[in-house]
Amino acid sequence: MTTDKVAVKATAPVAVAAIQLDTRLGDTLHNLRACQRLAEQAVDQGAQWIALPEFFNTGVCFDPALVAAIEHEDGPSAQFLRDFSRRHGVVIGGSFMCRIPHGGVRNRYLCFNKGELLGKHDKDLPTMWENAFYEGGDTDDSGELGQIGDVRVGTAVCWEFMRSQTSRRLQGKVDVLIGGSHWWSMPDHWPTWLTHKMEAHNSDNLIASVQETAQLIGAPVIHASHCNRIQSRFPGLPWLTYRGTLEGHTAIIDGHGQLLAHRSKDEGEGVITAHITPRYVSTQLPVPQRFWLRQRGLLPTLSWHLDGFFGKRWYRKHVKHQA
């Protein structure tokens, strides 16, 4: 299929940065210090927009100790975003597990511009063991954050890039998308004959889903990520252990889906920068009617259902109505 792309409005190029974190699970103080150090590097490199990843303050796996790290919207992680944005006069955003007034928890993305809240978005569906810690967002939450001048800003996190409904919500409605992921690998201590091909597919799915989303929404994407190792149990399956690595693929992508900057997990923690032109690019590419933008693979599909089932039960019992 041919694609006819025409910019519908002109804006000036903007220097942007995306951060890749080597996160310590549940260690909010350490992780916020790392975010500050790397975000200051981004500012020193001229970045006006800075993307932090999903769960930038804690990371996530099935570790019951993470319940104690859940914050309110005015907690230290939100304060860090607001204060950094005000002090440096930049746009910065990231997501964290946030307890909301009715007592539930959401995976909430906050974005600040020069110290003022631009907007917020709750991830639509938890992924796998994430179901143990938070619930999905409201159905009318499109991911649109607000406007900075004439620039319409949106967000998406992690497996939202894998779902067609994300592009359907945002196509033609944003001029730039700022977001991130916490996307784990296949278990690397299981037999390689079982996981080798699935791991290659899993890694490809991360970067390809972000690129395809950029094409479908017709706007640049600033995508942050993690690169640390994690070890975890599985909800409802205490005899089974996971050991693996966060997939990295921190990237800055234009509205045609082309990589402008990229950092692999093997490159470790760091900052990437590029110049983007925030604008909607009209496209004739239709959003697929299927639920999943890309095929997940056998193990991620099983984990989606099993971890989702047991995780939701654990969330209702141990998290949802806790103070």
Taking only the tens of pLDDT, the chain with its 323 residues reads 333 343 445 578 999 999 999 999 999 999 999 999 999 999 999 999 999 999 999 999 999 999 999 999 999 999 999 999 999 999 999 999 999 988 899 999 999 999 999 999 999 999 999 999 999 999 999 999 999 999 999 999 999 999 999 999 999 999 999 999 999 999 999 888 888 999 999 999 999 999 999 999 999 999 999 999 999 999 998 899 999 999 999 999 999 999 999 999 999 999 999 999 999 998 768 999 999 999 999 999 999 999 999 999 999 999 998 76
Amino acid at position 165, single letter: Q
- Measure the CA–CA gap between 261 and 266, rounded to whole angstroms: 15
Sign of CA dihedral 199, 50, 272, 13: positive
Task: Please report the domains of the chain, with CATH numbers, ordered by start residue.
Answer: 6-318 (3.60.110.10)
Q: pLDDT value at position 2? A: 35
Q: pLDDT value at position 8? A: 44
Q: pLDDT value at position 194? A: 85
CA nearest to 90, candidates 313, 273, 311: 273
Provide DSSP, 260-307. Answer: EEEEEGGG-SEEEEEEE----EE--PPPPSSSBSS---HHHHHHHHHH
Q: Which two tokens stand for residue 210?
A: 């972000």
Q: Are the beta carbons of 56 and 84 closer than 8 angstroms?
A: no
Q: pLDDT value at position 284? A: 67
Bridge partners, residue 245, by sequence? 229
Collapse the DSSP code of 219 into the 3-class scheme (helix H, G, I; strand E, B; otherwise coil) and give the result. Answer: coil
pTM listed for this prediction: 0.95
Q: pLDDT value at position 323? A: 64
Q: pLDDT value at position 63? A: 96
In 67-172, which residue ranges form alpha helices assigned H by DSSP?
76-88, 164-170
- Measure the CA–CA gap between 11 and 145, rounded to whole angstroms: 19
Q: pLDDT value at position 316? A: 96
